[in-house]
Amino acid sequence: MDRAENKASRLLQIEKLLLAHPEGLTQSEIARRLQVDRSTINRDLADLPASIYIDDADGNKLKIDRNADLINLNINLHEAMAFHLASRLLATRMDRKNPHAASALRKLGLAMEKWASRLSQHVILSADMMDGEVQKDDPNYIRVLELLTEGWATLRKVQIWHRSERLGKVFEYTVSPYFIEPYAIGQTTQLIGLSEPPGAIRTYKIERIERAEKTAESYTIPEDFAPRSFLSHAWGIWYTEEEPVHVVLRFHPRVRERVRESRWHPSQILQDEEDGYLRWEATIAEPQEMLPWIRGWGADCEVL
């Protein structure tokens, strides 16, 4: 490998190191990790991408701007279809304008234009929906989401002021973001994380967060925290520290096949009965969350 190739490889390694260390690294730390002289890193500074900068206020550490364009993506036709489906869900299940989502979809659509023009057109249409006039214009939601995203990416706690729907009051919390989850029911976005108070994991509807501020306090996400396991008994996003409830429903023969077509919950068990009815069972964290779904079947669903 010649000198130019060595340098190009080193610049990529520096970028990856800084992505893995949002707190930043000094030139000496980078040199030690890459096993080169510090003067080599100093000479490389002029050739680093614009997204990498020196933070004078934090010990002259090198940091990477996570708001810059950092990702180059190569996808095939079928992966592009997966993005199309995801973009349609995003555009049709979220009711607020999201310029970041729209920008990402437009970049994807333009990148696909030459080799998948039909898919490209529809991805761009989804982008137009995300910042179109039909969507709610809620700048505060975007600001809060940006701060929570940065906190989650850099493992920094965020101070939030959340309005309680039940009490009608605004309460202040310091949260450690563990996960951000879209919620199709109600077209909302939910924050899951450690909340102080009460010193336990809580879920907050981001649309109800009236204000957010970054803090300098770091946190770690427990190794045993897995969103899939955490929400395994939830119908959607609601969970409880109580024991989950065993729900048993009985569906009329005329809707039996429709019920069978979908997997409504990971724990569901289906059993055909002799009279043509279908017995449906699942273990649900908070059954109140599924009541609209149950009511939607009308007289064709009986709660046993």
Give helix 3-20 / helix 27-34 axis angle, nearest 10°. Answer: 120
What is the C-alpha separation between 44 and 8, in angstroms, rounded? 10
Whole-structure pTM value: 0.75
| Cβ atoms of 147 and 211 closer than 8 Å | no
- Give the model confidence (pLDDT) of 271-288 as tens digits: 999 999 999 999 999 999
What is the C-alpha separation between 137 and 114, in angstroms, rounded? 33
Question: Comparing 186 with 136, which gets the higher pLDDT?
Answer: 136
Q: What amino acid occupies position 189?
A: T
Confidence of residue 74 (pLDDT cuts 50, 70, 90): confident
- Give the model confidence (pLDDT) of 138-190 as tens digits: 999 999 999 999 999 989 999 999 999 888 899 999 999 999 999 877 789 99
User: Could you tell me which of 281, 276, 283, 286 has the C-alpha nearest to residue 303?
Assistant: 281
| Cβ atoms of 254 and 299 closer than 8 Å | no
Using a 10 angstrom Cβ sphere, with 0-12 exposed, 13-18 middle and 19 or more buried, the burial of residue 135 is: middle
Terminal alpha carbon distance of the chain: 71
What is the C-alpha separation between 96 and 137, in angstroms, rounded? 6
| Mean pLDDT in residue range 297-304 | 97
pLDDT value at residue 3: 66
Q: Is the pLDDT of residue 34 over 80?
A: yes
What is the C-alpha separation between 156 and 143, in angstroms, rounded? 16
Per DSSP bridges, beta strands 156-163 and 301-303 are unpaired
What is the C-alpha separation between 254 and 91, in angstroms, rounded? 33
